[in-house]
Amino acid sequence: MNATRLDPARPADAPPLEKKPRALEAILLPAVTAGFLVAVWHAAVVLSRTDIFPSPLAVARGLGELASKGVLGTYVRDSLVRVGAGYSLALVLGIPAGIALGWYSGAARAINPVIQLLRPISPLAWIPVAIVLFGVTNSAAIFLIFLASFFPIVVATMNGVRNVPSMFLNAGRNFGLSAPALFSRVIFPAALPRVLTGLRVALGVAWLVVVAAEMIAVNSGLGYLVIDSRNAGKRYDLVIAAMLLIGLIGLALNLLVGQIERLRAVRWGFNVP
């Protein structure tokens, strides 16, 4: 029993006699802040008498308009499908690649510089390449999302496998595990928390890239909505509505994948509550 574990929820700064924040505040505080910011936004639009920048009400009306036309659901679905396809492909190819690179350190040393070289290149810069390879199609957009999420998955899996403590491996061998058993009973569970983190980061990246991907002349999706609303008629209300939707869905995806990290089998690997 020690001081840190006494009350992990206790804020480090709280004066000794203050009560800790309650669970309700976790919902209430952001809601109040969001309400306040929306009010400031509204006031700023009204006071500056801008006729280009939309008020929160205009954005809400824009969303309503999209919904009533029936395109809102379609756009959300199309973006999610593209991200789902690109991400799944990255998952299927990236995890085995990462495991192989984590196991064979010579291969990792050879491939790592290539990954490092390709990492800083924006998905946007790949657009011309994607178009040359796949033409102006949905596949080109999916390719971009695949590319962006592939590398973080490979790197996280590789690090996960590489950093399995040799003590665990030795213990596994000591119990006479064969290679496949060693893999499934020691390496895989030991690497799993780190791999899951990589998967979460990669999903964030995949979703982030959806706008870039939908710049390739596709004509649906939230990224398309941003670009199209501006180009065709400077509909800034729709631009902001699309941005908010992207943000909210991104948050939801992150929370969803975050739930996996709370499963009992992997919770030991996460020190953050």
Site for another protein in 99-158 (CB under 8 A): 103-106, 109-114, 116-122, 124-126, 128-129, 132, 147-152, 155-156
Rounded to 10°, the helix 138-162/71-103 angle is: 40
Cα distance between residue 234 and residue 251, in whole Å = 27
In this structure, what token pair is assigned to residue 193? 């928390």
176 binds another protein (CB under 8 A): no
Please, what is the minimum distance in Å from the beta carbon of residue 37 to another protein?
7
The CB-of-70 to another protein minimum distance in angstroms stands at: 23
- Residues 224 to 253 in contact with another protein, rule: CB under 8 A: 226-227, 230, 236, 239-240, 242-244, 246-251, 253
Name the nearest CA neighbour of 83 among 222, 235, 183, 226: 222
Residues contacting residue 56 through CB under 8 Å, at least 6 positions apart: 38, 41, 42, 45
Cβ nearer to another protein, comparing 85 with 101: 101
Hey, what amino acid is at 96? P
- Of 116 and 184, which has the nearer Cβ to another protein? 116
Distance CA 130, CA 145 (A): 11
**What one-character DSSP code corresponds to residue 17?**
T
Q: What is the C-alpha to C-alpha distance for residues 243 and 18, in angstroms, rounded to an integer?
A: 39
Nearer to another protein among residue 68 and residue 193 (C-beta): 193
Place of tokens 């920048």: 53
**Binding of another protein at residue 174 (CB under 8 A)?**
no
- Residues 18-57 contacting another protein, CB under 8 A: 18, 21, 25-26, 29-30, 32-34, 37, 52-53
Closest CB to another protein among residues 68, 114: 114
- Taking the complex as a whole, the smallest distance from the CB of residue 137 to another protein amounts, in Å, to 16
- Residue 175 CB, nearest approach to another protein (Å): 15
Binding to another protein by residue 15, rule CB under 8 A?
A: yes
The span from the CA of 227 to the CA of 108, in Å, is: 39
